[in-house]
């Protein structure tokens, strides 16, 4: 009966992983490095399921693997254990605004994986008793088993560091998803240390991959395909929830941006360059504007950010600061054009009885007023 449960569980885990991977594979991820990590996560999680199943079926007496095959299963399991967590570190890093993972981090990760692999292989030698020992086909933890626990904790610490450093750059749904991904393995590791016969690690890896797929599905439904920002429907939902919420929630500032001469960029350099300009501006708004509650592409070359409530003078100053920051931003040039924008802004509070459509119309009119001033050589 126990072996039957192990087999059914394995098929269940494999089904969840495959369904999640098929869904993720159908999504057009704009970050190829991140998708490569998704593929590797799938491969190593599937490998972990297979190794764990073989171990449990042998322990249950169904397989009776040859001693060398059983030793190979144990060695591979130890060698692969930290890899999945290292891959989660890469995935979260590629999702953040971190352009390149620091070389020192890569060296630490590679060196630690090689050390773990070496110790796993050395453990195969009879009498070494490092990670594990196998006597007469019976597996037991070795005297230096705690070393892999330390290595595992190191790999758990890496994504936590990235998560805390770039917390504000993640979507709210990503924040919750990544919080689960970096904390639940700690519980799984504790469970693994206390009871090796329950596949806590396998269950956790499958769970994390599944919630990643669910989060990607949510983000794709509410995200603008080109820029990765929230789309117009998501913006409308956000504004409605704030405008109809508590007094504190319904008090906020809103700014609309419009890229100047964008049509000229498209006509002169082509739509591919124009798309790149939109992506650059979106990246700036998402990763370089502090204390922003919500960022969305409204449509075309128009973008909207929502901030906490502030005085008119403070909001005007904030727009000036954003304009200055963007003028110094390294991605504000495409071809021979330097990107600049016009902006309209407004302060909403509970006393105003207007709809989301009316709110958009107000900031849209103010934005075009600013555009006219700028085209006449004036500043707001």
Q: Is residue 113 located within the same domain as residue 83?
A: yes
Q: Is residue 173 located within the same domain as residue 241?
A: no
CA-wise closest residue to 345 among 318, 379, 375, 373: 318
157-192 pLDDT, tens per residue?
A: 888 888 888 777 677 777 888 888 888 988 888 888
Q: Is residue 251 located within the same domain as residue 340?
A: yes
Q: Is residue 249 located within the same domain as residue 327?
A: yes
**CB of 147 closer than 8 Å to CB of 94:** no
In this prediction, residue 375 carries a pLDDT of 79
114-141 pLDDT, tens per residue?
A: 999 999 999 988 888 899 988 877 888 8
Show which of 187, 222, 257 is a domain's final residue.
222
Q: Is residue 309 located within the same domain as residue 239?
A: yes
**CB of 130 closer than 8 Å to CB of 102:** no
The enclosing H or E element of 322 equals helix 312-327
Q: Is residue 20 located within the same domain as residue 151?
A: yes
53-97 pLDDT, tens per residue?
A: 999 898 888 888 888 899 999 999 999 888 888 888 888 887 775
Show which of 201, 222, 243 is a domain's final residue.
222
Q: Is residue 66 located within the same domain as residue 163?
A: yes
198: CATH:
1.20.1070.10
d(CA 168, CA 177): 14
Q: Is residue 213 located within the same domain as residue 282?
A: no
Confidence bin at 208 (pLDDT 50/70/90): very high
Whether 380 is covered by a domain: the verdict is: no
* Cα of 178 vs its chain's centroid, Å: 7
* Domain count for the chain: 2
Instruction: List the domain range (segments joined by +) for residue 94.
Output: 2-222
Looking at the DSSP bridge assignments, the partners of residue 292 are: 307
Whether 227 is covered by a domain: the verdict is: no
Q: Is residue 10 located within the same domain as residue 159?
A: yes
Whether 56 is covered by a domain: the verdict is: yes
In this prediction, residue 97 carries a pLDDT of 59
Show which of 222, 250, 267 is a domain's final residue.
222
Q: Is 235 exposed, middle or buried (0-12, 13-18, 19+ CB in 10 A)?
A: buried
Whether 162 is covered by a domain: the verdict is: yes
361: CATH:
3.30.70.270
Whether 335 is covered by a domain: the verdict is: yes
7-52 pLDDT, tens per residue?
A: 999 999 999 999 999 988 887 566 788 889 999 999 999 999 999 9
Whether 209 is covered by a domain: the verdict is: yes
Whether 352 is covered by a domain: the verdict is: yes
- 64: tokens are 């009776």
Q: Is residue 371 located within the same domain as residue 268?
A: yes
- Regarding predicted confidence, which is higher, 29 or 305? 305
Residue that has been written with the tokens 């669910």 in this structure: 214
Q: Is residue 28 located within the same domain as residue 121?
A: yes
> Which residues have a Cβ under 8 Å from the Cβ of 163 and sit 6 or more positions away?
92, 170, 178, 179, 182
Whether 83 is covered by a domain: the verdict is: yes
Catalogue the E-assigned strands of the chain: 132-135, 138-141, 252-259, 292-299, 302-308, 333-334, 337-338, 341-348
Query: What average pLDDT does range 220-231 have in this prediction?
Result: 84
**CB of 206 closer than 8 Å to CB of 50:** no
Q: Is residue 115 located within the same domain as residue 85?
A: yes
Q: Are strands 252-259 and 132-135 parallel, antiparallel or unpaired?
A: unpaired
């Amino acid at each position: 009966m126990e072996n039957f449960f192990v087999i059914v569980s394995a098929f269940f885990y494999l089904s969840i992983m495959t369904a999640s991977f098929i869904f993720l594979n159908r999504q057009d991820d704009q970050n190829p490095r991140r998708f490569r990590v998704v593929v590797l996560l799938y491969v190593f999680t599937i490998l972990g399921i297979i190794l764990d199943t073989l171990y449990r079926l042998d322990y249950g007496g169904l397989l009776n693997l040859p001693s060398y095959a059983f030793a190979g299963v144990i060695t591979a399991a130890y060698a692969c254990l930290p890899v999945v967590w290292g891959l989660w570190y890469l995935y979260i890093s590629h999702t953040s605004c971190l352009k390149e993972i620091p070389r020192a981090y890569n060296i630490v990760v590679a060196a630690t994986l090689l050390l773990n692999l070496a110790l796993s292989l050395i453990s195969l030698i009879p009498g070494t008793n490092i990670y594990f020992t196998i006597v007469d086909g019976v597996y037991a933890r070795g005297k230096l088993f705690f070393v892999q626990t330390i290595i595992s904790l190191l790999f758990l610490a890496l994504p936590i560091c990235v998560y805390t450093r770039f917390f504000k750059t993640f979507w709210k749904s990503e924040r919750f998803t990544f919080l689960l991904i970096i904390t639940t393995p700690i519980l799984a590791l504790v469970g693994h240390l206390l009871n090796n016969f329950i596949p806590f690690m396998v269950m956790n890896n499958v769970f994390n991959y599944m919630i990643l797929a669910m989060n990607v599905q949510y983000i794709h439904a509410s995200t603008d395909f080109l820029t990765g920002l929230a789309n117009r429907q998501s913006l409308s939902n956000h504004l409605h929830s704030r405008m109809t919420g508590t007094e504190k929630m319904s008090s906020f500032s809103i700014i609309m941006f419009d890229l100047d001469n964008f049509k000229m960029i498209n006509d002169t350099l082509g739509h591919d360059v124009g798309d790149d300009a939109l992506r650059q501006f979106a990246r700036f708004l998402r990763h370089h504007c502090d204390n922003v509650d919500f960022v969305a592409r409204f449509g075309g070359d128009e973008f909207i950010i929502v901030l906490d409530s502030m005085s008119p003078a403070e909001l005007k100053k904030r727009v000036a600061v954003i304009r200055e920051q963007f003028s110094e931003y390294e991605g504000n040039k495409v071809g021979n054009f330097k990107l600049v924008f016009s902006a309209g802004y407004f302060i909403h509070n509970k006393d105003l009885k207007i709809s989301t459509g009316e709110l958009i119309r107000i900031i849209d009119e103010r934005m075009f007023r600013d555009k006219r001033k700028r085209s006449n050589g004036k500043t707001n």
